[in-house]
Amino acid sequence: MSALTTVLPGESFIYFGDTARAPYGGRTQEALIQMNAEIIRFLKSFGIKALVMACNTSCSVVLPTLPKDPLLPVFGLIDPAVAEAVRVSRNKRVAIVATAATIRSGSYETALKALSSDCLTTGIACPDLVPMIENGDLDSDHAQKAVATYCAEMTAFSADTVIFGCSHYPYLRPLFEHYLPASTFFVNPAQTVATTVYETLGKEALLNSGSQKGIVDYWASGDTRVMKVFLSRFLGQEVEIRRTHNPPRPPGTPPRSG
């Protein structure tokens, strides 16, 4: 969110966190498609002019299945990040750290190969990182051991470029930097997609030309407490989050306090 508001300070945003059904990494494709359809329908009700799918798992599994809507540009994280990785990698060895679902989809690897046929890739599933980050566990012994293990795989592969294939992972960048060579280049898809959104809205004459700063309206599908602590910690300011049961909770899931 911070990348978008920095690049597009005059725009207002609706941020939706699916706290009732996260994490997405272990979900089936069918479930992810249904869940994302519900979220998109909810966001469209606000009259949005563009949609940023800011979850790498959804971008990998769901985005390729979405029908084109000429009235609503949809931005994913993968293509801008891949283009940046190809541009900066010197030895054409790129590591992708992501959720299990994103790694299973092979989306980053396929996009990298399509853009640079001589690019070698390795995908590393990191299922334990999201819970640690959301709990503020950024430098404990457990976090250090986990990141060190993943970095050992990247070092063995001789990767000189790392794509953070999950929007949470850049918060652990200091640990990755500690365990990887100083020359390693890190690609944060949030930053690359923000630039793409800015350029595209400008070309389509959709940018807000006013001088007034935009606002961010935060919504959650379930418990708002963890999301509030997480966002407030990493954005550096208190945020207020509204709760909605549309999208609905998964069948059989009891209400969660918020």
CATH code of the domain in which 144 resides: 3.40.50.1860
CB 21, CB 249: distance < 8 Å? yes
pLDDT (tens digit, 9 = 90+) per residue, 25-34? 888 899 999 9
Q: For residue 253, is it within any domain? A: no
Instruction: Please indicate, yes or no, whether residues 43 and 107 belong to a single structural domain of this protein.
Output: no
Last residue of a domain, one of 124, 158, 188: 188
Q: For residue 107, is it within any domain? A: yes
Instruction: Please indicate, yes or no, whether residues 163 and 213 belong to a single structural domain of this protein.
Output: no
Q: What is the pLDDT of residue 223?
A: 85
Cα distance between residue 187 and residue 31, in whole Å: 29
Question: Which whole-number Å values give the CA distances from 213 to 11, 193, 218, 234, in the listed order?
Answer: 7, 20, 16, 20
Judged on CB neighbours under 10 Å (0-12, 13-18, 19+), 45 is exposed
pLDDT (tens digit, 9 = 90+) per residue, 124-160? 999 999 889 988 899 999 999 999 999 999 999 999 9
Instruction: Please indicate, yes or no, whether residues 22 and 86 belong to a single structural domain of this protein.
Output: no
CA torsion sign for 241, 137, 20, 73 is positive
Which pTM value belongs to this model? 0.84
Q: For residue 257, is it within any domain? A: no
In this prediction, residues 75-81 reach a mean pLDDT of 96
Instruction: Please indicate, yes or no, whether residues 180 and 83 belong to a single structural domain of this protein.
Output: yes
pLDDT (tens digit, 9 = 90+) per residue, 159-169? 999 999 998 99
In this prediction, residues 214-241 reach a mean pLDDT of 87
Q: For residue 255, is it within any domain? A: no
Look over the chain and give the mean of its residue pLDDT values, rounded to a whole number: 91
Q: For residue 154, is it within any domain? A: yes
Specify the amino acid at residue 72.
L
- The domain in which residue 99 lies consists of 78-188
Residue numbers annotated as active site: 55, 166
Cα distance between residue 81 and residue 98, in whole Å: 13
Q: What is the pLDDT of residue 248?
A: 56
